[in-house]
DNA sequence: ACTCCCCTTACTGAATACAATTAAGATTAT
DNA sequence: ATAATCTTAATTGTATTCAGTAAGGGGAGT
């Protein structure tokens, strides 16, 4: 009767995907850096086959460029691309939120809030940046799910994995945390009140503001 | 001096991807149908390795579901998903077009028109449906490229490969061709006149109208 | 009859081994 | 010296082979 957690056997490919994704997002592997199959295989104690499959998958996520016979490199995002990605997110996500708000149940709001609490705790405890961004997307996803747009949500998540490394930069270096916390709280409140207009507008600004401070940061980095 | 077409060696993986994609889009492989690696490998005279890599790639494109240890199946889209995909396309593409129109050069318009002529010719000659949809996306892409939003364009193309099989259905069974031709011509004219407002509105309707006739078609098919 | 367990089978997942491609250095001819 | 060609080393692409997993099908026990 009890819901059995049906023993999940992670394939080696999945392990490699997760390891590489984390290394790229964390900046451990830099943009443009070539990814040698044998090196990765050795490092993770697998053969090259799962490494190759992982690279194909990561290319689809946009984290890797895979050129036949040349090899794979980690992608790097330029300032223009950051702007593009975030503007696209702003458009799609505010649309999602608008569609979601009328469908949000009390339970959804409670769930979202509990994720938010965990996120704030993670900020306070200065846990790993990785867990910040995971909880962050969990929070947003909770709100969007009620829109009943699974495919759109997938697209958004795809865009997010691309933005992630920059969001991490922002949180780490621009002191964006208090602002983000405040905005999240207000956003949740607006959702609770079903104020579609204000909520979507806040979300837009939230995303575009982040884009702005990131582009400034990236420009600085390029100069230095 | 002449630009050498630097002999492109297609990998077997790419061949398999193309073969399978075409079979799925054309409906030759139906939604839900299991894709046995060995069968495909044998059929295409390759080993299972490139087949596996191809399946991973196609999963990223949304044409295939890949469950560990269970195998891959062709995805099938429901009516709701069709609606979702097309509404998303309408939003993103009209935004793209709005951003593109001010940047369109005379040359862009000429190029687009020439693609359009080819497309109309393909319709007349009743060439393969595959070439129709290829030329169709080429036409739209030409218009969108001026928006300078490469990543957004990629997203759109991704959505399109998912919609493609349904667009083909529509063109084949609902006599949508004359309408499509007319709308394309008008759209091009509006772009030439830089009428952003009307052009984006037409595009929205163009896409949503297609969605509508497709959902009707799919519902019929389900009943029969 | 029903349920549980083992076992078989058909498939997928991964390692090893081999072939093909690229690019860089060496060699030769102009 | 320079350009073109050959050679070779590094790396990727693919076939073969072995290992592991997941369902389906009897039998034994209840």
Q: What is the pLDDT of residues B176-221, one digit of tens each?
A: 788 889 999 999 999 999 999 999 999 999 999 999 999 998 787 6
A109 CA to C4 C1', in Å?
45
Q: Is the CB of B10 under 7 A from strand C?
A: no
Contacts of A59 in chain B (CB under 8 A): 60
Tell which wins on pLDDT, B12 or A5: B12
The yes-or-no verdict on residue B1 having pLDDT over 50 is no
Nearest CA in chain A to B52: A53
Looking at residue B224, its pLDDT comes to 66
Asked if B167 contacts B82 with a C-beta cutoff of 8 angstroms, the reply is: no
The 10s digit of each residue's pLDDT in B49-73 is 999 999 999 999 999 999 999 999 9
Report all structural domains of chain B as residue ranges with CATH numbers, in order of start: 12-74 (1.10.10.10), 79-223 (1.20.120.530)
Q: Which of A107, A110, A132 is nearest to A121 (CA)?
A: A132
Tell which wins on pLDDT, B132 or A65: A65
The residues of chain A scoring below 70 in pLDDT are 1-8, 221-224
The yes-or-no verdict on residue B35 having pLDDT over 90 is yes
A20 CA to D13 C1', in Å?
21
Looking at residue B7, its pLDDT comes to 61
CA distances to A135, A177, B83 from A125, rounded to whole Å, are 14, 13, 44
The yes-or-no verdict on residue B162 having pLDDT over 90 is yes
Judged on CB neighbours under 10 Å (0-12, 13-18, 19+), A143 is: buried
The mean of the pLDDT values for chain B is 92
The yes-or-no verdict on residue B6 having pLDDT over 60 is no
CA A150 to CA B8: how far, in whole Å?
Answer: 38
Looking at residue B153, its pLDDT comes to 98
Looking at residue A57, its pLDDT comes to 98
Nearest CB to A149: which of B84, B92, B159?
B84
Chain A, 71-130: which CBs lie within 7 Å of strand C? none
């Amino acid at each position: 009767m009890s819901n059995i957690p049906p023993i999940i056997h992670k394939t080696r490919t999945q392990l490699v995907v997760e390891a590489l994704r984390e290394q790229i997002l964390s900046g451990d592997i830099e943009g443009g850096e070539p990814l040698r199959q044998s090196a990765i295989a050795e490092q993770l104690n697998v053969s090259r086959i799962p490494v190759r499959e992982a690279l194909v998958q990561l290319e689809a996520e946009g984290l890797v460029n895979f050129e036949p016979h040349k090899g794979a490199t980690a992608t790097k995002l330029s300032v223009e691309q950051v702007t593009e990605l975030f503007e696209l997110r702003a458009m799609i996500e505010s649309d999602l939120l608008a569609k979601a708000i009328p469908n949000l149940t009390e339970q959804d709001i409670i769930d979202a809030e509990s994720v938010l609490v965990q996120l704030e705790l993670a900020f306070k405890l200065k846990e790993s940046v990785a867990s910040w961004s995971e909880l962050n997307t969990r929070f947003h996803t909770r709100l969007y799910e009620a829109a009943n747009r699974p495919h759109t949500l997938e697209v958004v998540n795809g865009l997010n994995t691309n933005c992630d490394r920059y969001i991490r930069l922002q949180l780490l270096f621009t002191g964006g945390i208090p602002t983000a916390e405040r905005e999240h709280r207000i956003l949740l409140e607006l959702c609770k009140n079903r104020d579609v207009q204000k909520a979507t507008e806040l979300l837009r600004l939230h995303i575009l503001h982040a884009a702005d401070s990131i582009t400034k940061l990236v420009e600085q980095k390029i100069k230095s």
